[in-house]
Amino acid sequence: MTHHFPVRVFYEDTDLGGIVYYANYLKFIERGRSDWVRELGIDQRALFEDEGIGFVVRKVEADYLAPAHLEDRLDVQTELTHAGNSKFVVRQRVVRGDTLLFEALVTIVAINRAGRPVRIPAVLRR
């Protein structure tokens, strides 16, 4: 199942030429992942405050395929590709219409307050 998160490119997202600055794609996909998790019914703040479990990015493999420009309307697509005991991997794409602009595989790890990997609670793995 693919989650969709709309993004509009604002002036602050671009460089002098009106092209989206490369690091901003990471912001776009972070917002997409956060919205995906929220729509799954997971309150990340409560999870950390109540159970001491948080999620951190361990690895990002990114491909920049085509530029996005000022005022573009983009779609950040997120889908789960792997779920393990303490980590999961998502594939994320940023598209403009039918054009794939950016694609990434993101590995997320569950950690405790001390920063050590922990098992993802069973209710979340489901």
Please identify every residue annotated as catalytic: 15
Amino acid type, 106 = V
| Integer Cα distance of 114 and 118 in angstroms | 10
Which of 89, 33, 27 lies closest to 61, judged by CA?
A: 89
Residue carrying the six token digits 């590995």: 107
Structure token digits, residue 15:
């460089």
Measured CA to CA in angstroms, residue 21 lies from 9, 27, 61, 120 at distances of 10, 11, 17, 34
